Structure 1
């Protein structure tokens, strides 16, 4: 399996979902079971901060990296040309970024529980994004939140310049930055 291939095998593509689901469950169990009871409020705040932060990270990455920086914009253009293809960020890269840019810095700035809580929140947001993005391109639903997300993502894919609707799980940042 090549790490930088445009399209992944079904196994490699699905492994991303499975590994992040397992990591999320393990982090949740560790936080609930072993986390210090006197830090429940702060850990909950870190989890929520991670989830909310993910929505902004998703927007920024999609708008400025995937549509602005080479070679990422060239790779992402493949997704726009072949929206049903099994194209995703290789798990090793996304995991390294999450550990290197979220977990370790938080561990240095705070403690293991805060680092785990923030990482769990961000990981939950990322998992929601990957599932939502897959569903947008591969599921057919009616009368749901997902149908709304499919509609706005279809607009994003149909624009020649791709200048709007960068949020996949939420339109919040598109509204804030007037790109909807």
Structure 2
């Protein structure tokens, strides 16, 4: 299963980096007076503009695929926004801040780092009358414990996300360290 939320994050990151490089190239081109540099910099600018256009087209293509999938399954397009927002908020809530151990190379810091990597696999998907929350935990028992301890609070957060319209069940373990919580519409 491809985590589409992480795909969007990577694409928007590439878009931001490309635009930053484009601004720097524009500044260098128009602040230099050497005609040889201007020709070289214009080639760089044209390359960055084409790369930027390709990233925009790729983002649009991925988004249109998701919209088409929602339409084919007779689902509301608004649920895409709800899914992205809920995934972002719950990931932010579950993300553990590493302790003040100086260099952060201790055993606890590594456990928290693995737990935070597991949080990045969390996906919440709203459909018409149902919603699911899936997370794949690391194989490390200590990092699993960090996340599993927060499951009850996470269920409360999930239930309060959408004005109590969806009632999420407790997380149940699926094969290979997957945990899933399902919800149905209350109203």
Higher-RCO chain (CA-CA 8 Å, sequence separation at least 6): 1
Q: Which has the higher helix share?
A: 1
Q: What is the TM-score with the length of structure 2 in the denominator?
A: 0.28
1 or 2, which has the higher strand percentage?
2
